[in-house]
């Protein structure tokens, strides 16, 4: 290329064509070896980089929006609450979320709490024998309120605990109902609507495919084999697909992941770009290394009592939170990665020459003969241009 | 490079300089062609890869946090509810979300529900003539409760439906109010605060730009042309920018995307890194391939009746969920991609030589002459070094 | 390579080995220079690209799921509300969110609102002297309801404001309690459970590390130096780590980012893949360029009054929203980027030859001597093959 000479003799540079001088060695062994190495590199570049890994494509990550709607009715019959029917407004808390929904499967309800004085729930830190065991103003990590410094009898029993100022009576969450309160939740269904967008390619698609009829959507239920594109899922199936037991999970709650993968090759037709569903448990199952296993949270329904005093129904809700995780990449032909990969491939082809040179010039018996042909030895100028350089020809 | 010889004759290797021998062919045609091909490749590498696609930059994806605040008052006057005013606490459900907000635009309210026995809402599956048409314990997909097995008159009408144990009276959602109940929502405004962060470059910015005064922010409303950086949006404008009709959307609900694109070139000044807003409808408009079109969800307000019995106001809320989708990439000069692209460009320049060689040696009339100059033919050693190789010196 | 000749003389092509002819110049100066340039490029490719930037790896972005649970009790004693205890169900609104949680730290409560007529809260736009100052049906940006057109006395004071149909009495949010109402929130703790997944490598991990015992988790609190992997955080520490003042923040609210960075080298053992926590304030602190500084939102608790009329407790909740931002990349050895970088590196090594050639052929005093050795000048065919080309043998 020697383009530096352009600056010196610009015209001659433009009208000159420079190409490396080549030795062509007619040798079956070396020739074959050289071609095999070149073919392997070519096969790698074309086969692996271009065909398999689509090195000619540019990629983009998904932007997603999800809505969900759960359907189902559960009936419970307990001594405390009596016969009770639970519908969507009762067991979905909060009523809507962005990329998740929570289905309450178990519950500890403390009714008619109001602010006042009452004995703490008995445990190692709250049991007392006399007032001196209770510290006025103390609030522990698991306290329900702040201690008044008195030691009083708990629930007319012989047990005594420190008195607290709290929402009274305090919650008793030691016995989690088993089997789970809303065990019928296994048969609830959820409709998931997912809209994705690849901003770089301005390509958007929905998980409700356009070749599916409303009639089908009204009655289908997702099944990995028979109905892989039905957007309606039975909660029990989601859990069992992840290799878990729903009734077991329902007792203390869990976090489940509904994964929607959108891997799209936008060089092909849109209709090949399809959602793939998979399911995974996200919370920790190793009981040994966990604090507060399962999944639960507390909330309250507030109301005014007869005298205008604020009261509440305090609810510790155990349940399954379903996180809808949408991910994926779309690829489309783009000149930049193509050229980067071609350039890289060409450079790798050059490696074939180095490799063969090494074998030819250093390993083969006839190496000195080949070396003579390839190299021209030139002594430094200081030694004089009139020297015999010992170079072939 | 022949660095393998280093191992054999290290010193000679270090003090030797090897460079390919070149044939310089003085030919206007071939020389010009060669330079043109080289220039084209150079122009591609510099122009496209570096200037247009910023191949010298490393990229990072955005990490974002969004808060929103809706303002506005709506008044409705219906026979059922009378004159009623709706403020933020009434129509925003839930009160706050992370990257979204829901504005209730239409509503079906079922007041004073309590658990008990009542006839199902009449439809194809619930109508009955006698008790034998109703299955005790049956719960269908659209049931409001579980059937007791009795067939009773619905609402003092001549129609008879299966009796259910449910929250009674059951909801009648057949007639969606039209025009939408809170049609005034079109004039509500929302303030969106968005904080973005590029972790790789530790660069953060807010969509409330620092060169904007509080006075401006207090009165501005986003407009694509006149106020493109005002973070306050009129709901009606968002919908119309997306090419939709607000009043139409308000009836059955919808999901709208507020897209904030942060494409930043961090090699330039911070003040050029600006948010770009765009709007898009995210839910399915194709009525043919959809289940439960629009967007709605159910929730309830619970209270205690006079006798301490739990009652609720059951609400089916139709409305527009606005999803705030933040995306974008920031680029900044980095040595790695620069070198990858330069290396790739250099390799591509080599392709020019191959191309010209092919033309010179195989297509031009004088190909044999050029070939003689470029190649030195060497027979294999077996044929003896004393052979006449037929090579041009 | 000259593979075009394959088409002409395929067999000869396969059994031929072509390698460039090289001039080996024995010169200490030029030889050393060449090796130094080559070493520098090699050092860059190996040291920087491979060792430092892990150019041999493929990367993937994190898919994350977060749950959080706050613990703590606060006590307040005000003239308006009396002695009151606040627990999780009172100050966490909504009860659960996906990647965030909101802790109420300050509050303006308007009790027993019901729909009706009342005077607007006095400000510049609502004060009036007579009915003519009020426009019937007018609703402003900051209105609490729609004006009836009457001008009435506000709260038995001499001040007169326009009457509105609204939830009455209207909220007075001019005086934000200071110090913050729930200033005790500083000592609340939050347990954050984070599950991450790298889909490309099918690698998942939790922030509750498997080598940590339950006993430790029950009592630990995060500290950057002593307990960097404890998933339980004191809210006050989060804020002070971000260089902010909790009590100051608690008054008007704020948005805090809890950043969890998962940068994993999956070529190493799993146990080296660890979460790194950092904290940052996300909302705007520049009072000059902000609307509605801090963070607050309004919600209501609804109940039925004695006569069955709907009433509500209207709450303007100031507080700190903690956004949990999970990000990071995992890298694992992959053949594609390795080959791209090697190819690019090989091409860059070629640059060394160009560079040295330029120096040797254009700058060194002996340039003409070297040029003679490297180049063979060939005149164009037109000038006749019988010419003396003037080429060095």
In angstroms, how far is CA C32 from the centroid of its own chain? Answer: 49
Provide the greatest CA pair distance for chain A. Answer: 121
CB contact under 8 A, B23 and A28: no
- Sequence-distant (≥ 6) Cβ neighbours of residue B49 within 8 angstroms: A336, A339, B55, B341, B345
Instruction: Give pLDDT, residue C389.
Output: 41
Q: Pick from C19, C24, C86 the residue to mutate for testing the A interface (most A CBs within 10 Å).
A: C19
Percent helix / strand / coil, chain C, rounded to 5: 30, 35, 35
Local confidence band at A182 (pLDDT 50, 70, 90 cut-offs): very high
- Chain A residues with CB-CB distance to C305 below 8 A: 304
Cis amide leading into C149 (omega within 30): no
**C109 in contact with B, Cβ within 8 Å:** no
Average pLDDT over residues B33-57: 82
Question: Residues B161, A79: contact at Cβ < 8 Å?
Answer: no
Instruction: Give pLDDT, residue B265.
Output: 92
Helix segments in chain C, DSSP class H: 4-8, 10-14, 28-43, 88-91, 214-219, 235-241, 246-252, 335-358, 367-374
**CB proximity under 8 Å: A 40-59 to C:** 44, 48-49, 53, 55
Instruction: Give pLDDT, residue A90.
Output: 93
Cis amide leading into B94 (omega within 30): yes
Average pLDDT over residues B320-345: 86
Question: Residues B203, B126: contact at Cβ < 8 Å?
Answer: no
- Chain C residues with CB-CB distance to B197 below 8 A: 257, 280, 325
Cα–Cα distance, C284 to C387 (Å, whole number)? 82
Cα–Cα distance, A223 to A241 (Å, whole number)? 10
Q: How many other C-beta atoms are found inside a 10 Å radius of the C-beta of residue A27?
A: 23
- Chain C residues with CB-CB distance to B216 below 8 A: none
Instruction: Give pLDDT, residue C387.
Output: 42
**A82 in contact with C, Cβ within 8 Å:** no
Q: How many other C-beta atoms are found inside a 10 Å radius of the C-beta of residue B177?
A: 17
Instruction: Give pLDDT, residue B299.
Output: 94
Chain A neighbors (3+ CB pairs < 8 Å): B, C
Mean pLDDT of the residues in chain B: 84
Instruction: Give pLDDT, residue A13.
Output: 65
**B281 in contact with A, Cβ within 8 Å:** no
B95 closest CB neighbour out of C99, C297, C380: C297
Q: Does the structure show a pLDDT above 70 at A1?
A: no
Cα–Cα distance, C362 to C369 (Å, whole number)? 11
**B84 in contact with C, Cβ within 8 Å:** yes
Retrieve residue C107's tokens.
Answer: 């509050």
CB contact under 8 A, C19 and A360: yes
* Predicted structure pTM score: 0.87
**B1 in contact with C, Cβ within 8 Å:** yes
- Chain B residues with CB-CB distance to C380 below 8 A: 25-28
Q: Specify the DSSP class assigned to residue A320.
A: E
Cα–Cα distance, B265 to B54 (Å, whole number)? 9
Q: CA-nearest residue of chain C to A30? A: C17
Counting DSSP H helices and E strands in chain A, the numbers are: 9, 19
Distance to chain C for B237, nearest Cα, Å = 16
Retrieve residue B144's tokens.
Answer: 């409001």
C55 closest CB neighbour out of B69, B98, B336: B336
Quote the crossing angle between the two packed helices B335-358 and C335-358, to the nearest 10°: 70
B24 closest CB neighbour out of C310, C323, C378: C378
CB contact under 8 A, A144 and C208: no
CB contact under 8 A, B75 and C379: no
Cis amide leading into B77 (omega within 30): no
Q: Does the structure show a pLDDT above 80 at B165?
A: yes
Residue carrying the six token digits 């059922």: B80
Taking the alpha carbons at both ends of chain A, their separation in whole angstroms is 25
Which parts of chain C register pLDDT below 50?
1-7, 383-393
Question: Residues C93, B95: contact at Cβ < 8 Å?
Answer: yes
Which is more confident, C175 or B342? C175
Question: Residues B66, B192: contact at Cβ < 8 Å?
Answer: yes
CB contact under 8 A, A18 and B22: yes
Q: Does the structure show a pLDDT above 90 at A370?
A: no
Question: Residues of A224-234 as b/e, b for ≥16 C-beta within 10 angstroms?
Answer: eeeeebbbbbb
Question: Residues C147, C137: contact at Cβ < 8 Å?
Answer: yes
- Chain A with chain B: Cβ pairs closer than 8 A: 239
Retrieve residue A283's tokens.
Answer: 């919370």
Instruction: Give pLDDT, residue C386.
Output: 46
Question: How big is chain A, counted in residues?
Answer: 393
Residue carrying the six token digits 């020809």: A393
- Sequence-distant (≥ 6) Cβ neighbours of residue A12 within 8 angstroms: A5, B26
Q: Pick from A5, A12, A19, A334 the residue to mutate for testing the B interface (most B CBs within 10 Å).
A: A19
- In this predicted structure, which of A307-321, B207-221, B247-261, B342-356 has the lowest mean pLDDT? B342-356
Kindly indicate whether the ipTM for this predicted assembly is greater than 0.90, answering yes or no: no
Cis amide leading into C169 (omega within 30): yes
| Model pLDDT for residues B268-293, shown as the tens digit of each residue | 888 899 999 999 998 876 666 666 78
Q: How many other C-beta atoms are found inside a 10 Å radius of the C-beta of residue B326?
A: 22
CB contact under 8 A, B25 and A19: yes
Structural domains in chain C plus CATH codes: 23-55+334-374 (1.10.287.940), 61-120+170-284+292-332 (2.60.490.10)
Cis amide leading into B249 (omega within 30): no
Retrieve residue C331's tokens.
Answer: 């890298």
| Model pLDDT for residues A260-305, shown as the tens digit of each residue | 999 999 998 888 999 999 999 988 766 666 667 889 999 999 988 7
| Model pLDDT for residues B72-106, shown as the tens digit of each residue | 999 998 888 888 999 999 999 888 888 999 999 99
Q: Does the structure show a pLDDT above 60 at B255?
A: yes
Question: Residues of B144-169 as b/e, b for ≥16 C-beta within 10 angstroms?
Answer: bbbbbebbbebeeeeebbbbbbbbbb
Average pLDDT over residues A306-310: 81
Retrieve residue B286's tokens.
Answer: 């194709």
Rg (CA), chain A: 38
Instruction: Give pLDDT, residue C213.
Output: 83
CB contact under 8 A, B61 and A61: yes
CB contact under 8 A, B217 and C291: yes
Average pLDDT over residues B334-342: 80
CB contact under 8 A, A325 and C90: no
């Amino acid at each position: 290329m020697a383009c530096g000479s352009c600056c010196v003799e610009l015209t001659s540079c433009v009208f000159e064509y420079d190409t490396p001088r080549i030795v062509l060695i007619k040798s079956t062994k070396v020739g074959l070896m050289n071609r095999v190495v070149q073919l392997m590199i070519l096969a790698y570049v074309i086969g692996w980089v271009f065909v398999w890994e689509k090195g000619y494509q540019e990629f983009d990550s998904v932007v997603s929006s999800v809505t969900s709607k759960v359907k189902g009715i559960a009936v419970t019959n307990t001594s405390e609450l009596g016969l009770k029917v639970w519908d969507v407004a009762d067991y979905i808390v909060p009523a809507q979320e962005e990329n998740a929904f929570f289905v309450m499967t178990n519950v500890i309800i403390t009714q008619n709490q109001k602010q006042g004085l009452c004995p703490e729930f008995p445990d190692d830190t709250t049991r007392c024998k006399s007032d001196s065991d209770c510290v006025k103003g103390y609030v522990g990590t698991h306290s329900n309120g702040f201690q008044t410094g008195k030691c009083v009898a708990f629930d007319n029993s012989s047990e005594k605990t420190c008195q607290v100022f709290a929402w009274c009576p305090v919650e008793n969450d030691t016995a989690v109902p088993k089997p789970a309160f809303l065990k019928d939740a296994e048969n609830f269904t959820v409709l998931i609507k997912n809209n994705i967008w690849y901003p770089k390619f301005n390509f958007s698609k929905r998980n409700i495919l356009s070749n599916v009829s409303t009639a089908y959507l009204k009655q289908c239920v997702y099944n990995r084999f028979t109905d892989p594109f039905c957007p309606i899922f039975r909660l029990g199936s989601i859990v069992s697909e992840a290799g878990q037991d729903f009734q077991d999970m329902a007792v203390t709650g869990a976090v489940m992941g509904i994964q929607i993968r959108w891997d799209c090759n936008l060089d092909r037709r849109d209709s090949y770009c399809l959602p793939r569903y998979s399911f995974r448990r996200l919370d920790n199952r190793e009981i040994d290394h966990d604090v507060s296993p399962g999944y639960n949270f507390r909330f309250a329904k507030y109301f005014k009592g007869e005298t205008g005093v604020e009261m509440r129904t305090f609810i510790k809700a155990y349940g399954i939170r379903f996180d809808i995780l949408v991910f994926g990449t779309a690829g489309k032909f783009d000149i930049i990665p193509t050229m980067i990969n071609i350039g890289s491939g060409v450079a790798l082809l050059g490696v074939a020459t180095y490799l063969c040179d090494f074998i030819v010039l250093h390993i083969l018996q006839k190496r000195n003969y080949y070396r003579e042909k390839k190299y021209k030895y030139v002594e430094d100028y200081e030694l004089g241009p009139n020297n015999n350089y010992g170079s072939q020809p």
